[in-house]
Structure 1
């Protein structure tokens, strides 16, 4: 048998061991089910393996698909770690009963309490903030200093924003419910709907492009989508970014809305110790710098060097509402959107 063929067979056997529920666990491996799809993720996996000798095997999919798969696989699941984005999705995994508590002194010391589950079911590992974009040529930024200002009559027919099905918007709504109550949050949602320039469509980058194209004057999106355009190798992307400015909202009040990319150890993890080591590595300075410099996400650890364009956003006040609260409020946020007619 040739060396090349032998290597292929080893690879196939390893893959089958990972993908087939109930199969035995490989030594020195951590099996990651990931709903993150960023280039930096492979860099993180490689760095972890180099530091620990533990191989990272990854199965990618949407968050809902992976949660359901782990739920179906039960205690026979090969999954050790679930990685996903947004507090609402972390809550869905928690609610499905597929995560187990982790008591790590390292994680508890490194990650602020509001960014992790109070019982250690999951940990926020990168932060993103939801900002307001505007056209500096067509819009007076003094009109808006908060999310609440998006209902002002001067903004009628001028706002682009994603649909209510979007988990990022659902978490923003959850934060508004927690700040003002469901009734006031519904009134806010109706005001934003009345000010929309078009029916909700597309992703966060599409909202920024719409402002640049003159389809609307104001939009809402996470900061890293804008920074991707700023740092793109494509001149057309950079040209879009040059036509848009941003507002960091609610700096005089509760702070800008924060969400996380995070992870938890799966309830039946066959490689639990390796899974915990993997989470601890993601909270290390090395990993946190990769988040901040490759995906333009805010680190969860203080003092980590950030990409210059992320640093250029300046100091800002974060809303330190617990991510677990955002998650628990997600079902109410969906109901509020539905009542307000936000599609």
Structure 2
């Protein structure tokens, strides 16, 4: 009798448990994300997604974008990722070419500016990083800056330039120039700039600091480093070229869904992309990272020059990832 009473009480207790507690274990979906963005940069955004979607748990595997892309291509059908969020969308193009990306639903795809999405609907941009010159605002007037990238080869800039040939963004931009200008013109230009004895830096941010300090007059960097480092009285500014000759390159970080993701995994992947392209998140990303939003009606951070006022270079994002010949060029010039 006591055993029967205990069984009845247990049954009643279970049946009265809150529905979300009783079903949460069965309803919870784990979404694997291969992420080439740094956790410090976008970790808070992904945490907000999990909070908004308590039934989805993100398993984020952070690494360099080329490493993750190579890993996914090697894994092929065994790849566990549901979503790829890469620093450079050209690597998404490589996955698409290998047949590894599903079509992005139109309701998500159509939110993105046509310039920053895959024409075959396999990936979408999330944010953009603009290549610019950073310059010391007391050493040179904006009107005296080079009218285009080729102007950096002018002997007037001898010993006044900074660059970072070992930096991934530098190499990506140089890869674009090889395709836009051709191999010979690019090599000739690089030789001429090298003859101006530019100061070598390991990455972008030290160039911005050096421009402020007057150690260099011009650096070649991504736009957002200035805004992250800028304080009152900062003596450095960003400069975009007045015309398009390959200098004003917007490098697009993007995301795609693995082909083969099904059921709740696919549904969760679509929710994540939709979340990243929502008005709120696009606005937050530009406020927090100073990167450019890719949803057209979202305004960029007020400190950023509007993209509409910049003569952006027309770029196949896949060219950003054609790094092999670029590294060979840099080695030939003894810059690697």
TM-score by length of 2: 0.80
Give the superposition deviation at 1:225.
Answer: 0.8
Query: Given the alignment of the two structures, is residue 260 of structure 1 paired with residue 252 of structure 2, yes or no?
Result: yes
Distance 1:122 1:320 in 2: 18
Count residues in correspondence. 307
Unaligned runs of 5+ in 1: 1-24, 231-237
Structure number with greater Rg is 2
Alpha carbons 1:74, 1:268 under 8 Å: kept? no
Alpha carbons 2:104, 2:256 under 8 Å: kept? no
Alpha carbons 2:244, 2:313 under 8 Å: kept? no
Alpha carbons 2:104, 2:123 under 8 Å: kept? no
Which one of the candidate residues 64, 67, 70 is aligned to 1:65? 67
Matched with 2:150 is 148
Of 296-305 and 98-107, the range deviating more from structure 2: 98-107
SS of 2:205's partner is helix
Of 61-70 and 154-163, the range deviating more from structure 2: 61-70
State the Cα deviation string for residues 32-90 of structure 1 (Å, max 9, x = none): 12121154523322332344443322122222333344345443333211222124544
Alpha carbons 2:125, 2:294 under 8 Å: kept? yes
SS of 1:70's partner is helix
Matched with 2:87 is 85
Matched with 1:204 is 204
Matched with 1:331 is 324
Distance 2:193 2:244 in 1: 21
Give the superposition deviation at 1:105.
Answer: 0.7
Matched with 1:129 is 130
Give the superposition deviation at 1:262.
Answer: 1.4
Alpha carbons 1:115, 1:322 under 8 Å: kept? no
Query: Given the alignment of the two structures, is residue 298 of structure 1 paired with residue 292 of structure 2, yes or no?
Result: yes
Distance 1:93 1:158 in 2: 41
Q: Closer, same or farther in 2 for the Cα pair 1:177/1:132, shift >3 Å?
A: same
State the Cα deviation string for residues 278-323 of structure 1 (Å, max 9, x = none): 1222122122112211100000111213322225898323223231
Distance 1:123 1:162 in 2: 29
Alpha carbons 2:161, 2:217 under 8 Å: kept? yes
SS of 2:292's partner is coil
Give the superposition deviation at 1:275.
Answer: 1.4
Matches within 5 A, 1:1-343: 27-53=28-54, 54-91=56-93, 93=95, 97=98, 99-141=100-142, 142-163=144-165, 165-198=166-199, 200-230=200-230, 238=231, 242-251=234-243, 256-269=248-261, 271-310=265-304, 315-327=309-321, 329-343=322-336
SS of 1:86's partner is coil
* Greater relative contact order structure (CA < 8 Å, 6+ sep): 1
Distance 2:286 2:295 in 1: 11
Of 154-163 and 174-183, the range deviating more from structure 2: 174-183
Unaligned runs of 5+ in 2: 1-25
Q: Closer, same or farther in 2 for the Cα pair 1:331/1:122, shift >3 Å?
A: farther
Distance 2:171 2:108 in 1: 27
